[in-house]
């Protein structure tokens, strides 16, 4: 299914990526009908967009009964588009339901029972997030608690943004867009015998506005270039309820090293919590994956790193 739309690019100081194109009402109604077959939460609609010869995958954002097409900097800047520019876009949408991961195995796996038996590398399958289904990420983050409020956006939010100001639906929408953005997908998903059980956020350090601006741990006592795009960061681990304390985060940390290296990183860092780990991971999570402690800016935080 395809639609050709046109309009004026506008800048919105709400959710990143700031620049959007509004989908006309008629095409928006067609897309809304098609979305009923897509099985995505909160009206988010996976889409392929093309401007001239530039094509990319993204999601349409529902707003005020219509849809907005986000224009990422990686697309917008090469095309020299800015607020007020007129643009024509072709949208392509596959209305077939998105397949779940390993459905044949999944029906054989019991519901989480709180087992603490360590998992082995052979039991886990770890894939880039853009190879996982959005429903699998929803299962990992769960319907309640801090993970369902934050959606791994702690370090990605902009100044003056918060869990309360943006809300869980908005933050979940951002994660979905970050997880499915081609080669630069921002995370890894772990499966245990077909069941989605863990998430790890790993991306260039510069992709985290709050990490660069407000979080002091990576910078205290260090002479680091905050604009260095070759340094990647592991910023978040989420293990699904019922599968915790079984070594899943440690396996994800090991996988994150190869993931970053294969995508051209010159170094990768982590910022573990020395008391309880929390969402940023424990020191052991990182050291067992080959990271070396390079700084300890306080009693509770450390900086660990691998140089490639």
Contact of 61 with 83, CB cutoff 8 Å = no
130/271 same-domain check: yes
Lay out the sheet containing 66-70: strands in order across.
2-8, 86-92, 45-51, 54-63, 66-70, 19-22, 10-11
Domain count for the chain:
2
116/259 same-domain check: yes
Kindly report the CATH number assigned to the domain that includes residue 86: 2.40.30.100
143/113 same-domain check: yes
Domain for residue 98, yes or no? no
Kindly report the CATH number assigned to the domain that includes residue 219: 3.40.630.30
Contact of 270 with 233, CB cutoff 8 Å = yes
Place of tokens 């093309």: 50
Of 92, 127, 161, the domain-final residue: 92
Give the residue numbers spanning the domain of 16. Answer: 2-92
121/40 same-domain check: no
Angle, CA of 180, 150 and 159, to the nearest 5°: 95
- Residue 59 makes CB contacts below 8 A (sequence gap 6+) with 40, 44, 45, 46, 47, 70, 173, 176, 177, 180
84/128 same-domain check: no
Per-residue pLDDT of the chain (308 residues; tens, 9 = 90+): 788 999 999 887 544 446 888 989 888 887 777 666 554 444 556 778 899 888 877 777 777 777 888 887 778 888 888 889 999 999 887 655 444 444 433 433 344 545 678 887 778 999 998 888 888 999 999 988 889 889 998 888 877 778 788 888 888 888 887 887 555 678 999 999 889 999 999 999 988 888 888 889 999 999 999 889 999 999 999 999 989 888 999 999 999 999 999 989 999 999 999 988 889 999 999 999 999 999 999 889 999 999 99
Using DSSP's 3-state secondary structure scheme, residue 49 falls into strand
Domain for residue 97, yes or no? no
């Amino acid at each position: 299914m395809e639609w050709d739309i046109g309009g004026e690019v506008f800048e919105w100081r709400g959710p990143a990526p700031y620049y959007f194109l509004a989908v006309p009402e008629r095409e928006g109604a067609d897309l809304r009908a098609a979305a009923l077959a897509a099985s995505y939460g909160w009206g988010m609609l996976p889409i392929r967009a093309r401007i001239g010869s530039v094509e990319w995958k993204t999601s349409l954002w529902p707003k005020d009964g219509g849809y907005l097409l986000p224009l990422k900097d990686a697309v917008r800047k090469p095309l020299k588009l800015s607020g007020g520019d007129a643009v024509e876009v072709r949208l392509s949408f596959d209305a077939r339901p998105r397949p779940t991961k390993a459905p044949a195995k999944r029906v054989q796996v019991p519901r989480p029972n709180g087992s603490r038996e360590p998992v082995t590398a052979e039991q886990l399958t770890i894939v880039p997030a853009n190879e996982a289904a959005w429903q699998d990420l929803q299962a990992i983050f769960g319907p309640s608690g801090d993970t369902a409020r934050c959606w791994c956006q702690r370090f990605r939010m902009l100044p003056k943004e918060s869990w309360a100001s943006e809300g869980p639906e908005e933050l979940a929408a951002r994660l979905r867009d970050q997880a499915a953005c081609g080669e630069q997908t921002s995370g890894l998903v772990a499966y245990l015998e077909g069941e989605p059980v863990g998430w790890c956020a790993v991306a260039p350090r510069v992709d985290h506005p709050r990490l660069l601006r407000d979080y002091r741990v990576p910078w205290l006592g260090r002479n680091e270039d905050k604009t260095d795009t070759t340094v990647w960061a592991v910023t978040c681990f989420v293990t699904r309820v019922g599968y915790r304390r079984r070594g899943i985060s440690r396996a994800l940390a090991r996988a994150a090293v190869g993931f970053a290296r294969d995508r051209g990183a010159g170094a990768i860092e982590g910022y573990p919590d020395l008391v309880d780990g929390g969402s940023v991971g424990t020191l052991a999570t990182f050291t067992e994956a080959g990271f070396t402690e390079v700084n300890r800016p306080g009693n509770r935080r450390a900086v660990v790193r691998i140089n490639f």
